[in-house]
Structure 1
Amino acid sequence: MGAYLLWKHRNSCVFEGANPCLAELLRNFRDEQHLWSMAGAQRLASLSAGQADRVG
């Protein structure tokens, strides 16, 4: 999940001229985590969006 989103963001920057944006990438991670949790990925439900913001 994470590697795919990072790869997709990188390709958007390289091939479509998008600017790298960490905030957008983190938002995409949170959205993807939420969708997986709604689909029943129970172990991902323990991750909160706030925890990703505390990294670094």
Structure 2
Amino acid sequence: MEELAPSEANLTFQLWWRRASRRAGRERRKAINTIIILVTWEFWKHRNSVVFDGSRPSVKLLLRTIKNEARLWAMAGAKKLQQLLP
């Protein structure tokens, strides 16, 4: 997955996503898009919790939540996502 990391400091999220999706190849594209959506959604929810609910920012909590949600999404039918999970 290192090949999907941003290579330029001034790269927009949209452009990075498009490039990452293309680099992933046809077989993994849907899984990569799903994980990007999931991570972005969980990051946004965590940020809102910090800003609006007074929660403390926690990378550890965010990563745990992303892993748990990824498993739930896979169980709910995100079949391609299952390919990326351990």
Identity among equivalent pairs (%) = 45
- 2:48 aligned to which of 8, 11, 14: 11
Structure 1 spans left out of the alignment, 5+ residues: 50-56
Structure 2 spans left out of the alignment, 5+ residues: 1-37
- Match of 1:12, as an amino acid? S
Structure 1 distance, partners of 2:84, 2:63, is 13
Structure 2 distance, partners of 1:15, 1:40, is 32
Q: What is the TM-score normalised by the length of structure 2?
A: 0.52
- Match of 2:79, as an amino acid? Q
Query: Which structure 2 residues correspond to residues 1-56 of structure 1 after superposition, within 5 A?
Result: 1-48=38-85
Q: List structure 1 segments (4+ residues) > 4 angstroms apart after TM superposition.
A: none
Q: What is the TM-score normalised by the length of structure 1?
A: 0.75
